[in-house]
Structures are given as C-alpha cells and as structure tokens.
Amino acid sequence: MATTGELIKADAMEEKGERARMASFIGAMAIADLVKSTLGPKGMDKILQSTGRGHSVTVTNDGATILKSLHVDNPAAKVLVDISKVQDDEVGDGTTSVVVLAGELLREAEKLVALKIHPMTIIAGYRMAAEAARSALEAAVRDNRDDFEKFRSDLVNIAMTTLSSKILSQDKVHFANLAVDAVLRLKGSSNMEAIQIIKKCGGALKDSFLDEGFILDKKIGVGQPKRIENAKILVANTAMDTDKVKIYGARVRVDSMSKVADIEAAEKIKMRNKVDKIIGHGINCFVNRQLIYNYPEELFADAGIMAIEHADFDGIERLALVTGGEITSTFNDPENVKLGHCKLIEEIMIGEDKLIHFSGVAMGRACTIVLRGASSHVLDEAERSLHDALCVLVQTVQDSRVIWGGGWPEFLMSRRVEELGRKTPGKKSLAIDAFATALRAIPTIIADNAGLDSADLVSQLRAAHSADGCRSGIDIISGKVGDMEKLGIYEAFKVKQAVLMSATEASEMILRVDEIIKCAPRQREDRM
C-alpha cells in the first residue's frame, strides 16, 4: 500500500501530528512575541526597512503595519498576520491586542496538549469561554447616545485612549478633539472618504489643524483668477495637451514647412473647439486629472476661468465627491454633466507650499485635517495613528456602546470565565481556566512594557475585581491600580468584541491542524 510520502513529489515537505502542531504553535507565538512589546501606552516602536530600491524606512508601533511588512514563512504565523489585517480594516484599532491574545491562547493550549487533552476538547472549552466573556462584556457596557454632551466626551475619551499608545500621545487632547470634530461632521455616515488628511513637513505635531472644506495640493495656473466666489466646478479627466503634433508610429511626409504649420494650426483649432465646449458649460473653475498645455491654459485665463492641472486621481475623486460633481471625459452634452459647487475657492499657504482651498462645499460633511511634523516618517506614523482613531470613532458613532479600558475588560471577562470553569465538569473546565489565564496576559504585558511590577499589579486587580461593580484598571502613569472612570480611560465595545472573537477563532483554527504539507518548489528548466 502506498504511503503519503510516496504519493507526493520528491521535494515536498510533510510534517505530521505532534511536529505539525509544534511548528504551528511556535510560529504563532513567535509572531505574538514580536509585536507584544508595542502594546499599551508605554509600548515601543519598530523600524522596518524594505529591501526594495531606496531601502525605505517605516517607524511604527501599529501591529497591522508591522505584520503586513513581514515576509513570514510559517503557515500558522500567516493566520495571525491575516487576523491583524482584518482587525485593522474592520475596526481600525486593537491590531496588536488581537495577535497577542491569539498567541497567549495558543501558549495555554500547548500546555493542555502536553497533558494529553484532545485539541477538540480545548476548542469546545474555548468556545464556551469566549461566549461567557462576550456576554460579560455586553452586560457591562454604557451607552450615552441620547445625551450629546456625554456622548461627545465618551468619544473624546475613546480617541485619547486609542492615541495614548501612538506617536500622538503627547498631544492626545488636541488630536482627540480634531478626530471627534471630523467624525461628528459626518453626521452618522461611515464614509471616511469625506475626511481628507494632508501631510506637510515643517512645524510641530501640535500645529496640525482641522479645516472645513477641501484642500487640493496644487497651484493655480498663470494669469488666472486666484479667488472665485460661488464657484461652478467641472471635474474632468481628459487630454488637454493636443495642441502639439503628436503622431506616434506614423510618418507624415510633407514637401514644405508650411504644411507642418497647417497641421499644427489644425491641432490648435481642434483644441480651441474643445476649450469652447468646456467654457460652454457655464463654469468658472476647471479641474483636470491630466496636463493642460500653455495654449488651452491661455484660453481659460482669457475667459476668466481658473484651470487646475494634474490633480492626482485620489484628489479629483474626492473633490468630485465633496462638491457634488462627477468626473467627465466628453463635453458634447452640457445638460447631462453634473457640475460641482462651492462657495469660495482661494489659494492658501501652509508652511512654504501654496494649496487651493475649496470652502462651503456641497457636501457639508467634508473636512480636511492638515498634519504638520518634523519629517516624513513622523507624518506617516501620525497619519496611521489618526486613521486608527478616526476608524474607531466612526464605529462608535454607529454602535455607541462604551466600556472602560486599561485592563478592566480583561479582568471582568476572566472573572466570568473562571466562574464558568468552576461550574463545568470534565476536561473542558481546564480549557476554560486556560482561556481566563490568556485574557489576564494582556494587562500583564501592558504593565511589563511600562516597566511596572506586573505580578503585584495583576494580583491586586484580580482581588479588586472579586467585588461587583468594580471599575479598577492599571494606571500606567502612576504605576498603581486606578479608577478607570475618573482617569477617563474608555474603549469602544465593538473593538474589544472584535479582538475577543477574532483571536478565539484564529487560535481554534491553528489548534485543529495535525499535518502541514509544503508543495515542492517549481524546478527551473536548464536552458543551457
């Protein structure tokens, strides 16, 4: 009878049973250990250097960004990279926590597997524990949706908690208010496209500001009006550089220079007709994705129309969205073209650069956050941090349930899970207790990263949480147990729930593995 080894190709690798499980556990735990030093307000950053041209450098402590940049070979580690990416897309924050929690669940599962407990028993226990933890969290949420003042302060606190572990932690009050103002302008919509972030080197991080309206990072053409009120904007993606002879792959034979001049004149007439059609839309501002050559630019200036060329694609898509226009490529049917509208277009200066500011746009929700900072690396990390905060706030506006942070949810959940473990007969109870231990690992790591005595803090917190209605968590600044409500450390329920469920499901998936088969690498044919 043929064995599997004889069935698969010669260079394919196969690991079975205990070895496959060990490889999965070790890979997943290594990934968790890699990012766990970035967890919490005192977490450290990592420098990532690419192998591509220019060896670009990224400085970050965002779990998803770190893991996305790694080329991981271990299949189980790839599962953790994936859950961190999904967490980032889904709720924006908790990307490190989800990986660390999954790693800790597998660390505990490894001990249980060593005690000869079947992985399916562990999975069943984890399922029960995760459900108990989720219902404990759900029972303890607060919801201030009906009281706007309280809800806004909840949002500011959530933003400050999210930003406290990032580069913006020193100015977190300023940035939390910026983010909350931007999200509240959306009036409950989840369309993040309406919030634009522009990065400009120079100044300090605290010089960043929120501006209502839209800013386009371009200059206005020569000899054109620098300020337009009640603007009608045509946003286009069309070639405006055909006034030169451009005939590729074809040969034109002429017997005199005057014929060349005729061809150029014909091109110019074609261009003039196109410009006349555009002017016929009754506009006073023309924004084009492509270049606008000197001749059409001159025609627009004569007609008193502001022409903006080479606006990047992201820029014009967003401009069309916020001004209520559509991107147009043909101009034969002016009635059916949707123009954009705004009250005022003017040129502004930010640092050394001139930009175009559109204020009073049709979509009143639009706004722009201008980030200032010492270098491009600082600005990139500030943008990632602010994006995380904005995502969490958008989710909280939709699901307004709020919980306290600072390790409070983990202890609340672990207490409920331990109670369940005491009531559950059989080997499942060991898995349920292991789940509670894994939950307590997150506050332990947060305390360790801050250089505090985690064993002492965690045991104090555990004792404090034995009473109902306890609000205690870790106060990193004073290094003691503190009241989370007084300290204003709040988190969004949706983020915590996503962390809990994703980590449990990922660890289950890795636990189920009993064989890893790696395909044989493709052989290169010898061309000699």
Segment 297-351, tens digit of pLDDT: 888 888 888 888 887 767 777 788 788 888 888 888 777 788 888 888 888 888 7
Question: Counting every residue, how long is the chain?
Answer: 528
Degrees, nearest 5: CA angle 478-62-103: 85
CA angle 243/248/254 to nearest 5° reads 75
State how far the alpha carbon of 55 is from the alpha carbons of 47, 51, 52, 261, 322, in Å.
12, 6, 6, 49, 37
- Please give the average per-residue pLDDT across 383-409, as a whole number: 88
**Alpha carbon distance 152, 397 (integer Å):** 10
Q: CA-to-CA distance for 83 and 95, rounded, in angstroms?
A: 8
Q: What is the pLDDT of residues 245-283, one digit of tens each?
A: 555 556 777 888 887 788 778 888 888 888 888 888 888
As a three-state string, the secondary structure of 86-111 is HHHHHCCCCHHHHHHHHHHHHHHHHH
Closest CA to 73 of 525, 522, 518: 518
Residue 393 inside a domain? The answer is yes
Residue at 4 is within a domain: no
252/285 same-domain check: yes
Whether residues 482 and 511 share a domain: the answer is yes
Based on the fold, state whether residues 18 and 122 are members of the same structural domain: yes
Average pLDDT over residues 109-137: 92
Tally the domains of the chain: 3
Q: Distance between CA atoms of 386 and 368, rounded to whole angstroms?
A: 13
Tell me the pLDDT band of 99, cut-offs 50, 70 and 90. Answer: very high
Least confident of 167-181, 237-251, 392-406: 237-251
| Same domain, yes or no: 298 and 325 | yes
Give 118-121 contacts, CB < 8 A, sequence gap 24+. 119/21, 119/511, 119/512, 119/514, 121/427, 121/428, 121/431
- Indicate whether 98 and 115 sit together in one domain: yes
Structural domain includes residue 185: yes
Residue 243 falls in the annotated catalytic set: no
Domain that holds residue 391: 146-211+367-399
> Catalytic site residue 65?
no
Tokens 């020569």 correspond to what residue? 222
Helices (H), 465-517: 484-487, 493-511
Measured CA to CA, the distance from residue 215 to residue 383 in angstroms comes to 16
Angle formed at CA 408 by CA 406 and CA 414, multiple of 5 degrees: 135
Under the banding of pLDDT at 50, 70 and 90, the label for residue 505 is very high
Same domain, 351 and 473: no
Q: Which residue has the tokens 């040969």?
A: 251
**Residue 523 belongs to some domain of the structure:** no
Strand order in the sheet with 142-143: 142-143, 401-404, 490-492
How many angstroms separate the CA atoms of 515 and 100, rounded? Answer: 24
Nearest Cα to Cα of residue 329 among 454, 234, 430 = 234
Query: Which residue in the list 38, 58, 60, 62 is annotated as catalytic?
Result: 62
Query: Tell me, what CATH number does 19's domain have?
Result: 1.10.560.10
pLDDT over 60 (residue 527): no
Residues 286 and 377 in one domain: no
Q: What's the pLDDT score for residue 419?
A: 92
In the residue annotation, 388 being an active-site residue is answered as yes
Pair 354, 387 in one domain: no
User: What is the CATH number for 153?
Assistant: 3.30.260.10
Q: 503 and 482 share a domain?
A: yes
Backbone torsions φ then ψ of 499, nearest 5 degrees: -60, -50
Give the span between the Cα atoms of 119 and 115, in whole angstroms.
Answer: 11
In a domain, 525, yes or no: no
Q: Are residues 169 and 220 in the same domain?
A: no
Exactly one of 388, 433, 448, 475 is catalytic; name it.
Answer: 388
CA gap 416, 418 in Å, rounded:
5
What is the distance between the alpha carbons of residues 325 and 367, in angstroms, rounded to a whole number? 17
- Within this chain, do residues 252 and 359 fall inside the same structural domain, yes or no? yes
Tokens of 161: 């908690």
Q: Please, is 344 exposed, middle or buried when counting C-beta atoms within 10 Å of its C-beta (0-12, 13-18, 19+)?
A: middle
List the Cα angle 310/314/320 in 5-degree steps. Answer: 85
| Interval 9-34 mean pLDDT | 81
Q: Which residues contact 33 (CB under 8 A, 6 or more apart)?
A: 103
- Cα–Cα distance measured from residue 200 to residue 204, given in angstroms and rounded to the nearest whole number: 10
Question: Residue 85: inside a domain, yes or no?
Answer: yes
CATH number at residue 222: 3.50.7.10
Query: In the structure, what pLDDT confidence band is assigned to residue 286 with cuts at 50, 70 and 90?
Result: confident
Among candidate residues 58, 95, 328, 424, the one labeled active-site is 95
Two structure tokens written together for 318: 């967003």
Instruction: Pick the catalytic residue from 38, 60, 65, 96.
Output: 96
Residue 38 within any structural domain of the chain? yes
Task: Check if 95 is active-site.
Answer: yes
Closest alpha carbon to 36 in 16, 57, 61, 6: 61
Average pLDDT over the chain, rounded to an integer = 84
Predicted confidence (pLDDT) per residue in 150-203, tens digit = 888 888 988 898 888 888 878 888 889 988 988 888 877 777 777 888 888 888
In a domain, 49, yes or no: yes
Residues 426 and 322 in one domain: no
